[in-house]
Amino acid sequence: MTKEEVKTDIKKFSALEAVSNSEGGKILVTSLEKDITSSVDELSGKYKTATLNEMVALCARLSERLSMLRAIKGASKLKKLAKEELAFLLKE
């Protein structure tokens, strides 16, 4: 990665970190966690009787919510790693 790409990533992670630390972000995280639990419960209850399309839809919903939750909750760690990468690149 180039220095500019890493700087861009740091900005993105900072924005996600700000969301995570805000009151609205905390509400969003709680809501996503509840949705994920609900989706897992639904999958475990319907796996024998659901159609293929229903299973695909449930899995897609679960995947989408997990991706959002990972992005928000992992922003601080990813920002730290990106800053370390930038420091390394600046030394070169």
The mean pLDDT of 43-63, rounded to a whole number, is 95
Phi/psi for 29 (5° steps) reads -60, -45
Name the residue range of residue 53's domain: 3-91
Tell me the whole-structure pTM to 2 decimals.
0.84
The mean pLDDT of 23-39, rounded to a whole number, is 97
Residue 24 in 3-state DSSP?
A: helix
Residue 10's pLDDT is what? 97
Residue 57: pLDDT band with limits 50, 70, 90: very high
Phi/psi for 74 (5° steps) reads -95, 0
Direct distance between the N- and C-terminal alpha carbons of the chain, in angstroms, rounded to an integer: 13
Structure tokens at 22: 């805000």
Contact 71, 16 (CB under 8 A): yes
